[in-house]
């Protein structure tokens, strides 16, 4: 286990990177138009990193980039569509720069009704499968960085909402039964397992993979909650939700800390490695998920 860091649940992302010079580093962030992704882009750019910022439309991500600064390249990436994932990866490959940090951050939560993309439940598709595809398409560029890092944003307790099996391979369509939180939990468990298996596959390459839990943060993630739930959340947010500047600290820490150069396959909360529960450390399941995911994205991988 990695040793205790100097940061904790009150640390801000800006504090975490305050001593660092990130000039010359290239950071790709998915979901850079809102919440934790936008804050991470802002903070990492403030230390000199060049941000490849992705958003669902070029107009939206260009607007976000104008808030971040000039060291940004806006890129269109719609995670509901694997043609878009492939096209985005092709642009990044053409840009050619090694990727020092690939921050898989974009996500959706608790869709009220079952929605599917190509027969797969949408949260699993967007949160896990599309990031699986994107990372695999860009992995050689991550490996070319002096110490490339993949950081996967998982979830707070959402893996506890997942089905007991962690990932139900016989119900990836969601058709057997669907509940918004259970499917979100499954997708976030998949995020953690993907990072775990990737760490094994990167062993010896110098590149690392870790996943993180930002904790409960005041962002737009609850947009799909029913109106009354959002109202309640709005009223009590100040009491238990972290402001976004604090919420982004763990992903910025794991993305940049010099102390973590050799740390891989770990899960972080409040800027420290912890051992998650549920199926999050199940290596057999992680391997099985990798095989299934490869099969599901095969047409876009080659």
Ligand X SMILES: NC(=O)c1ccc[n+]([C@@H]2O[C@H](COP(=O)([O-])OP(=O)(O)OC[C@H]3O[C@@H](n4cnc5c(N)ncnc54)[C@H](OP(=O)(O)O)[C@@H]3O)[C@@H](O)[C@H]2O)c1
Minimum Å gap between C-beta 126 and ligand X is 5
**Beta-carbon contacts of residue 284 (< 8 Å; ≥ 6 apart):** none
Minimum Å gap between C-beta 23 and ligand X is 25
Alpha-carbon distance of 194 to 198, in angstroms, equals: 6
Q: Whose CA is closest to 109, among 127, 129, 87, 135? A: 127
Pick 4 or 156: Cβ nearer ligand X: 156
- Catalytic option among 178, 184, 225, 253: 178
Q: How far apart are the first and last CA of the chain?
A: 36
Alpha-carbon distance of 200 to 164, in angstroms, equals: 24
Pick 75 or 202: Cβ nearer ligand X: 75
Pick 84 or 281: Cβ nearer ligand X: 84
Q: How far is CA 262 from the centre of its chain?
A: 20
Minimum Å gap between C-beta 260 and ligand X is 20
Q: Whose CA is closest to 197, among 211, 187, 214? A: 211
Minimum Å gap between C-beta 90 and ligand X is 17
**Beta-carbon contacts of residue 139 (< 8 Å; ≥ 6 apart):** 207
Catalytic-residue membership of 178: yes
Scanning 105-226, the segments in alpha helix (DSSP H) are 122-123, 130-144, 158-161, 180-202
* Chain residues that interact with ligand X, rule: CB under 6 A: 31, 33-37, 55-56, 60, 77-80, 105-109, 126, 153, 155-156, 214, 216-217, 219-221
Give the bridge partners for 217, in sequence order. 242
Scanning 97-156, the segments in alpha helix (DSSP H) are 122-123, 130-144
Minimum Å gap between C-beta 65 and ligand X is 12
Phi-psi region of 31 (alpha: psi -120 to 50; beta: other; left: phi over 0): left
Pick 81 or 147: Cβ nearer ligand X: 81
15 is written with which tokens?
């504090």
Pick 36 or 49: Cβ nearer ligand X: 36
Q: Whose CA is closest to 154, among 104, 116, 81? A: 104
Pick 60 or 144: Cβ nearer ligand X: 60
As annotated, the active-site residues are: 178
């Amino acid at each position: 286990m990695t040793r205790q860091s100097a940061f904790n649940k009150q640390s801000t992302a800006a504090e975490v990177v305050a001593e660092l010079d990130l000039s010359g580093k290239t950071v790709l962030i998915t979901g850079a138009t809102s919440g934790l992704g936008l804050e991470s882009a802002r903070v990492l750019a403030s230390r000199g990193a060049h941000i490849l910022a992705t958003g669902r439309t070029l107009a939206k991500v260009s607007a976000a980039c104008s808030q971040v600064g000039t060291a940004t390249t806006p890129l269109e990436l719609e995670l509901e569509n694997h043609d878009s994932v492939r096209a985005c990866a092709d642009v990044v490959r053409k840009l050619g720069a090694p990727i020092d940090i690939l921050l898989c951050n974009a996500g959706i939560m608790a869709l009220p009704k079952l929605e599917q993309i190509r027969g797969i439940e949408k949260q699993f598709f967007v949160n896990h499968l599309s990031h699986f595809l994107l990372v695999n398409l860009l992995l050689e560029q991550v490996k070319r960085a002096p110490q490339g890092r993949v950081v996967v944003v998982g979830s707070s307790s959402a893996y506890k909402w997942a089905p007991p099996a962690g990932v139900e391979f016989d119900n990836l369509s969601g058709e057997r039964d669907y509940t918004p939180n259970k499917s979100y939990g499954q997708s976030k468990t998949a995020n953690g397992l993907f990072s775990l298996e990737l760490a094994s596959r990167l062993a010896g390459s110098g590149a690392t993979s870790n996943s993180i839990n930002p904790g409960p943060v005041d962002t737009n993630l609850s947009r799909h909650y029913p109106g009354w739930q959002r109202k309640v959340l709005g009223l009590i947010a100040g009491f238990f939700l972290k402001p976004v500047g604090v919420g982004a600290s763990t992903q910025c820490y794991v993305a940049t800390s010099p102390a973590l150069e050799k740390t891989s396959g770990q899960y972080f909360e409040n800027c420290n490695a912890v051992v998650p529960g549920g199926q999050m450390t199940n290596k057999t399941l992680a391997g099985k998920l990798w095989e299934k995911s490869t099969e599901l994205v095969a047409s876009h991988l080659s």
